[in-house]
Amino acid sequence: GLEAGDIESAVELTDMFVPEAEGDTEYLEGGADEQAAALASVLREEGVGAE
């Protein structure tokens, strides 16, 4: 079987924090196609994506 040292991680956790919220959340209703269209609209309004 495996010993604890066999699966020990090389990563060491040094600190943890709760991030601050930087924006609002919007729930997109509908099916996948409707949600995709709504998301594309929001991204266009925010100026995100190709020009």
Q: Is the pLDDT of residue 3 over 90?
A: no
pLDDT of residue 44: 92
- Asked whether the CA dihedral 45, 47, 49, 51 is positive or negative, the reply is positive
Give the model's pLDDT for residue 11. Answer: 87
Task: For the chain, give every domain's residue range.
Answer: 24-51
pTM: 0.50
Dist. CA 42–CA 36, nearest whole Å: 10
Q: What is the pLDDT of residue 32?
A: 97
pLDDT tens digits for range 4-51: 878 888 888 899 999 898 888 889 999 999 999 999 999 999 888 766
